[in-house]
Chain A
Amino acid sequence: MDKNLEKGKSKNFILILESFIEKYKVPIAGVSALILLGLPFMGFSQYIMRIFIMIGIYSMLALGLNILTGYTGLVSLGHAGFYAIGAYTASLLSLKLGANFLVAAIGGAVLAAICGLLVSLPTLRLKGTYLSIVTLGFGEIVKMILINWDKVTNGTLGLKNIPRPSMFGLKLTLVNNGMYYLMLVLVALITLLCTLLIKSKIGRAFMSIKEDELAAIMMGIKTTRYKALAFVISAFITGITGAFYASMIGFIEPNSFTFDISTLIISIVIFGGMGTIRGMFLGSAILIAFPEVFRFLMDYRFVVYGLVLVLMMRFRPQGMLGWKSQMPYKLPKLVKESLKKNNKDNLKTQQI
């Protein structure tokens, strides 16, 4: 009884929160945009700005993995592999061919997406843990290739002097905050991409596969095709992020893309709330900032970090922001109009 009551209360709270956000969405969006755009002028040190950029990077990685894991229900433990492919391809394109950042980043993302397709094809019949193990293997294979393919990847020495992106003749750096703004643009674009995809038949197909694959098949959804699509989109986003990371940090080596990175991304997705877009930002903000904020605890901070994850899974398994919307379903504009019209017609006939 008590538990049900509590559940009802939290639902009410969510509804109130959501209606508040819906009502004031323009001012809320405006203020957040102003804060984000104004951050560089608030006198933060280089170090803090760099953390903000890392939060942005991990938001993008989480958004990418979220398409696959959060919406389609395919758990990948090898996203560091796609991240590395994006980073290396883009870096090599700009180092060896002098391609500018945009071309290099898209090249990296496309190659990552192709690899996503290649990974998905043999694994379409695998489910749950089996799929996770295959993706785990993929991540390790990519690392091994990077270490051993000396001629192209320069082996364990890694790639140095990766050029910073320049746009409109201006070189974007950490000092002039160009990298920060580029990060904002990329995060915005990727968020937009995810939102557009999810609110369509494609997003519903993804979710139906996660919810009940057999039922999805029996509704005529070509589940293999949609699973492959989820892999491709997820790898594409991760690849772009890799390209951005490489040009920000300027130096990459195979050990920048270990299994730890894959687990960190999936922790963010779960911590923030699988299958939500809002959760990815909070998840990465907390999990990336945490080790930095608690530096005074020295090595003990990782104990606390682990403890936070454990407590989180115990008391809020759906993730920090992983609630289901309690607002009514958002009908397409055209539907609202035609329903309104119908109501009016009904009223008219009643009056007559």
Chain B
Amino acid sequence: MAYLKVNSITKQFGGLVAVDKVSFEVEKDEIVSIIGPNGAGKTTIFNMLTGVYGIDSGEITFDGTPIHNTMPQNIVDIGISRTFQNIRLFPNMRVIENVLVGTHIRTKYGFIDTLFRTPRYKREEAQKTLRAIEILNSIGLGNRINDYAQNLPYGEQRKVEIARAIATDAKIILLDEPAAGMNPQESEELLRFIRELRDKGYTIILIEHDMNVVMNISDRIYVIDHGKKIAEGLPADIAGNQQVIEAYLGGVKKDA
């Protein structure tokens, strides 16, 4: 049984079929990439996985339990967290506060604990703050915890988003174009970090356009075009796949 199993999911917006009977599987401790040209439906798939959109047909199961058409909050609770294509941090909050918002769902103290500053409040608040600092240190933002998120350069904002996703104690992390807008050196660093995450026991699903990143890091790749899955396999297979090249480049000359 696959860890995350997506079985023939479909999403329609009016007459447009954004995602058409797409199936894929992700095993534990794996890095799986979803690639495809702009508008292929990759982000829609992420939105369906995280509960932003319901699905029109098909099913999504995580560790054997169906998770489609439930509230996004429940899906985070089950252990799937994501980042966004266009960064969505809390810009006027500090970096550490952003990450602490990520720990929110694992923080159990309530209203009364808050008002009376009970030992439970103190203990949990301390635990979560330490956890947030630990995550930020591991991602290389240890010196930035006091800064406001909006004052960080682009690459570091992406890292804060990843840190925030980790802070939810996610088992699967969905990264939506994490290398977008990064220079080669930064994306190299990101590659290393994503591998480290996998080695620590996180499962990663990646949407990415940077082929250098995708080919280097992925255990397996799924290719989506016009809402349909057109190929799947190991990076080497995908790089030579005729259909994929056509989807990206609009066909090749026969005599070439």
**A352 at the binding interface (Cβ < 8 Å):** no
**B77 at the binding interface (Cβ < 8 Å):** yes
Contact of B72 among A218, A229, A338, A339 (CB under 8 A): A218
Q: Which residues of B contact A193 (CB under 8 A)?
A: 115
The reply to whether B76 and A220 contact each other, CB–CB distance below 8 Å, is yes
Q: Which residues of chain A (275-326) have a CB below 8 Å from chain B?
A: 324
Instruction: Convert A333-346 into 0s and 1s, putting 1 for each residue whose CB lies closer than 8 angstroms to a CB of B.
Output: 11100110000000
Contact of A218 among B50, B93, B111 (CB under 8 A): B50
**A219/B104 contact (C-beta < 8 A), A204-B93, A338-B130 known:** yes
**B177 at the binding interface (Cβ < 8 Å):** no
Q: Which residues of A contact B192 (CB under 8 A)?
A: none
**B148 at the binding interface (Cβ < 8 Å):** yes
In whole angstroms, what is the CA distance A168 to B111 when docked? Answer: 31
In whole angstroms, what is the CA distance A329 to B88 when docked? Answer: 21
In whole angstroms, what is the CA distance A282 to B217 when docked? Answer: 56
Q: Which residues of A contact B91 (CB under 8 A)?
A: 211-212
**B24 at the binding interface (Cβ < 8 Å):** no
Q: Which residues of A contact B90 (CB under 8 A)?
A: 207-208, 211-212, 215-216
Residue total for B at the interface (Cβ-Cβ under 8 A): 42
**A331 at the binding interface (Cβ < 8 Å):** yes
**A329/B96 contact (C-beta < 8 A), A193-B115, A196-B115, A338-B130 known:** yes
The reply to whether B73 and A217 contact each other, CB–CB distance below 8 Å, is yes
**A214 at the binding interface (Cβ < 8 Å):** yes
**A159 at the binding interface (Cβ < 8 Å):** no
**B101 at the binding interface (Cβ < 8 Å):** yes
Q: Which residues of A contact B88 (CB under 8 A)?
A: 212, 214-215, 218
**A30 at the binding interface (Cβ < 8 Å):** no
**B69 at the binding interface (Cβ < 8 Å):** no
The reply to whether A334 and B122 contact each other, CB–CB distance below 8 Å, is yes
The reply to whether A212 and B89 contact each other, CB–CB distance below 8 Å, is yes
What's the nearest-Cβ distance from chain B to residue A124, in Å? Answer: 14
Residue of A nearest to B50 (CB): A218
Given contacts A212-B89, A218-B81, A324-B148, 4 further A-B contacts (CB under 8 A): A218-B84, A324-B92, A332-B126, A339-B133
Q: 16 A-B contacts, Cβ less than 8 Å apart?
A: A193-B115, A197-B114, A201-B107, A201-B114, A205-B104, A207-B97, A211-B90, A212-B91, A215-B84, A217-B72, A219-B81, A221-B101, A332-B126, A332-B129, A334-B125, A334-B126
B interface residues (Cβ-Cβ under 8 A, vs A): 50, 52, 72-73, 76-77, 81-82, 84, 88-94, 96-97, 100-102, 104-105, 107, 109, 111, 114-115, 117, 121-123, 125-126, 129-130, 133, 145-146, 148, 164, 168
